[in-house]
Structure 1
Amino acid sequence: MRPTVLCFSGLDPSGGAGIQADIEAIGQSGAHAAIACTALTIQNSQQVFGFSATSKELLLAQAHAVVNDLPIKCVKSGMLGTTDNIAALAEFLREQPEYLYVLDPVLVANSGGSLGDQATLVQAFAELIPLATLITPNTVELRALTGEDDIQQATAKLFAMGAQAVLVKGGHEDTPDYIQNALYVKGEQVSKTRCPRLAGEYHGSGCSLASFIAGRLALGEDLKVAVHHAEAWLFGVLKAADSPVEGGQKIPKRF
C-alpha cells in the first residue's frame, strides 16, 4: 500500500481547508491520507462562525485505531483547537518517534475567524515545536509563536525553541508583485523561492501546501525537494482556483 500521512485536522464544511484539503493534497502527492479529526467547525469559504473540538480521548482513539492498520510514515497537523488536543498530539508523537511530522501552526483562519484562544494555543505549541520535522508558519503565525516582529529574529527564536526546519511563508507580507518563501534547516537558510502574487485570497492554501509536503516526505523525498515540489504544485492549483463568491476567497482546485 502507498505510504500514509496521518492528519490531525478539523472538518471544514466548505471543503476548502482542513480535512478535505489534506486528503486532496496528499492524494495528489502520491501518498494516502488518514484522518484524526480534531474539531467540527461551522464555516463556509468566506468566514468561520464557530467550532466544537473533539475530546483528547476521542482524538487519540482515532489515531491509535489506524497505527497498526496503515503504513504511516508521516504525521501532519493543522487546526488543533484546544490545548488538550495539542498535548494529546505531543503524547502520540512521543509514542511514535519514528514518524516524520509536519506542523502547520494554525491559529486563525484566513477569514479571521477564531480557531481557539490564540494566546493559549501559542503557549501550548511550544510542546510540539521540538517534535516537528518541519514547521510551516506564515509570517503572522511566526510572529505570534515567537513574540518577535522581525522575521529573521522570529525565525531564529523558533530554532531556539527547538525547531529542526522551518518554511517561512511570505504571503502576508507587503510585497504586491510576488510572494517569497524561505526554507531554514538547523537555523540556516537553505533555499528561497519567489512566485508571482496571484490576485485575491485563497481558502485552504496553507493546509494544501503542508499536506503535499507531508505526502512527499512520506514517500521518502528529501525535505528541500519536497518543499519545492509542493510550492510548484500549489501555484498551479491556486491559478486554477474556483470562486464561490465574487470578490471573496477562492478555493484551490487541487485536482
Structure 2
Amino acid sequence: MRPTVLCFSGLDPSGGAGLQADIEAIGQSGAHAAIACTALTIQNSQQVFGFEATSRELLLAQANAVVQDLPIRCVKSGMLGTTENIAALAEFLKQYPDYLYVLDPVLVANSGGALGDQATLVKAFAELIPLASLITPNTVELRALTAEEDLTRATEKLFAMGAKAVLVKGGHEDTPDHIRNALYVAGELVAESRCPRLEGEYHGSGCSLASFIAGRLAQGDTLKQAVQHAETWLFGVLKNAETPVMNGQKIPKRF
C-alpha cells in the first residue's frame, strides 16, 4: 500500500480547505490520506461562521484506530480548534516518535474567520513546536506564535522554542509582484523561492501546501525536495483555481 499521511484537520463544508484539501493534496502527491477529524466548521468558500470541536477522546480514538492497519509515515495537522485537541495530538505524537510531523499552525481562515481563540491556541502550540519535523507558518502566524514583529527575530524565536525546520510563507507580505518563501533548518536558511504573485485570494492554499509536503516526506523525499515539489505543484493549482463568487476567494483546482 502507498505510504500514509495521518491528518488532524477540520471539515470545511465548501471543500476548499481543511480535510478535503488534505485528502486531495496528499492524493496528488502520490501518498494515501487518513483523517482524524478535529472539528466540524460552519463556513463557505468566503467566510467562517462557527465551529464545533471534536472531543479529545473521539479525536484520539480516530487516530488510534487507523494506526492499527495503515502504514503511517507522516502526521500533518491543520485546524486543531482547542487546547485540549492540541494536547491530545502532542500525546499521540509522543507515542509514535518515528512519525514525521508537519505542523501547519492554523489560527484563522484566509477569510479572517476565527478557528479557535488565538491567544490560548498560541500558548498551547508551544507543546507541538518541538515535536514537528517542519512548521509551515505564514508571516501572520509566525508573528502571532512568537510575539515578534520582525520576521528575522520571529524565526529565530521559533527555533529557540524548539523548532527543527520552518518554512516561512510570504503570501501576506507587501510584495505586489512576487511571493517569497524561505526554508530554514536548525536556524539556517537552506532554500528560498520566489514565484509571481497571482491575482486574488485563495481558500485552502496553506492546507494544500503543507499536505503535499507531508505526502512527499512520507514517500522518502528530503525536506528540500518535498518543499520544492509542493511549491511547484501549488503554483499550478492556484493558477487554475476556480472562482465561486465574483471578486471572492478562489478554490484551488487540485486535480
Q: TM-score range by the shorter chain?
A: over 0.9
Residue pairs, 1:25-64, within 5 angstroms: 25-64=25-64
CA offsets 1:92-151 (integer angstroms, 9 cap, x no match): 000000000000000000001010000000000000000000000000000000000000
Q: Hey, what's the Cα distance between the residues in 1 that align with 2:218 and 2:110?
A: 27
Q: Hey, what's the Cα distance between the residues in 1 that align with 2:8 and 2:95?
A: 16
Listed as ranges, the gaps of 5+ residues in structure 1 are none
Q: Which amino acid aligns with 1:73?
A: R
Q: Hey, what's the Cα distance between the residues in 2 that align with 1:47 and 1:251?
A: 13
Q: Hey, what's the Cα distance between the residues in 1 that align with 2:151 and 2:114?
A: 24
Q: Hey, what's the Cα distance between the residues in 1 that align with 2:57 and 2:98?
A: 22
Q: Hey, what's the Cα distance between the residues in 1 that align with 2:172 and 2:14?
A: 23
Q: Hey, what's the Cα distance between the residues in 1 that align with 2:144 and 2:69?
A: 37
Q: Does 1:68 align with 2:68?
A: yes
The aligned residue for residue 240 of structure 1 is: 240
Q: Which amino acid aligns with 1:118?
A: Q
Listed as ranges, the gaps of 5+ residues in structure 2 are none
Q: Which amino acid aligns with 1:81?
A: G
CA offsets 1:170-229 (integer angstroms, 9 cap, x no match): 000000000000000000000110000000000000000000000000001000010000
Q: Hey, what's the Cα distance between the residues in 1 that align with 2:163 and 2:131?
A: 8
Identity of aligned residues (%): 84
Q: Hey, what's the Cα distance between the residues in 1 that align with 2:114 and 2:132?
A: 24
The aligned residue for residue 105 of structure 1 is: 105
TM-score of the pair, normalised by structure 1: 1.00
The aligned residue for residue 155 of structure 2 is: 155
Residue pairs, 1:187-226, within 5 angstroms: 187-226=187-226
The alpha carbon displacement at 1:89 in A equals 0.1
Aligned residues: CA RMSD: 0.2
Residue pairs, 1:56-205, within 5 angstroms: 56-205=56-205
Q: Hey, what's the Cα distance between the residues in 1 that align with 2:238 and 2:17?
A: 13
Q: Would you identify which runs of 4 or more consecutive aligned residues in structure 1 move more than 4 Å? A: none
Q: Hey, what's the Cα distance between the residues in 2 that align with 1:52 and 1:177?
A: 38
TM-score of the pair, normalised by structure 2: 1.00
Q: Does 1:13 align with 2:27?
A: no
CA offsets 1:25-54 (integer angstroms, 9 cap, x no match): 000000000000000000000000000000
Q: Hey, what's the Cα distance between the residues in 1 that align with 2:199 and 2:187?
A: 32
Q: Which amino acid aligns with 2:119?
A: A
Q: Hey, what's the Cα distance between the residues in 1 that align with 2:198 and 2:187?
A: 30
Q: Which amino acid aligns with 1:71?
A: P
The alpha carbon displacement at 1:68 in A equals 1.4
Q: Hey, what's the Cα distance between the residues in 1 that align with 2:36 and 2:192?
A: 33
Q: Hey, what's the Cα distance between the residues in 2 that align with 1:38 and 1:216?
A: 23
